[in-house]
Amino acid sequence: MRVRNVIIFTAALALMIAAFFAMSDNLFSPYVSFREARNSGRHVQIIGSLKKNYPVRQTAEGYGFLVFEGAEDMKVYHGGSKPANFEHSDRIVLIGKYDREKDIFLADKVLLKCPSKYQKKEKR
């Protein structure tokens, strides 16, 4: 009876772990280029800089903006509130999926990278 319970418990634990990894596609998504994000059709992470001369468009449901990496630009939409100091961020990490029909990256998560905020100030 005990051996059977151990086997059932082990099998259930293995199934739970497998389900976690299968459902956490966006948790472990790799950084990819803009081109690969457009062609992959899956959840990915991209990193870019905010295009400062393109206005951030706020709606009741979310906000849209433009990021660039090298010579490539990508329109992004995030359904949520805009983070504080969004316009001052150096780099933006976006987790989401590219929508080919709308020609826009639909971000589930927006993470700001502001290294200047954490650098030591020079003494004068």
pLDDT tens figures, 34-45: 999 999 888 899
| d(C-alpha 113, C-alpha 22), whole Å | 28
Whether 123 is in a domain gets the answer no
User: Looking at residue 87, what is its pLDDT?
Assistant: 85
22/71 same-domain check = no
- Tokens 């086997």 belong to 7
Q: What is the pLDDT of residue 52?
A: 87
Whether residues 35 and 96 share a domain: the answer is yes
In whole angstroms, how far apart are CA 109 and each of 16, 28, 36, 83?
25, 13, 18, 11
Confidence of residue 96 (pLDDT cuts 50, 70, 90): very high
What is the extent of the structural domain holding 51?
Answer: 31-118
Per-residue pLDDT at 118: 53
Are residues 82 and 104 located together in one domain of the fold? yes
Q: Is residue 124 part of a domain?
A: no
66 and 98 inside one domain:
yes
Q: How far apart are CA 37 and CA 112, in angstroms?
A: 19
User: Looking at the structure, do residues 18 and 35 belong to the same domain, yes or no?
Assistant: no
Same domain, yes or no: 13 and 40: no
Stretch 105-116: mean pLDDT: 84
Confidence of residue 92 (pLDDT cuts 50, 70, 90): very high
For 56-82, the pLDDT digits (tens) are 999 899 999 999 998 899 999 999 888
Same domain, 86 and 53: yes
If one counts the domains in the chain, the total is: 2
pLDDT at site 101: 92
Asked if residue 42 and residue 18 are part of one domain, the reply reads: no
Looking at the fold, whether 39 and 95 belong to one and the same domain comes out as yes
In this predicted structure, the answer to whether residue 98 has a pLDDT above a threshold of 80 is yes
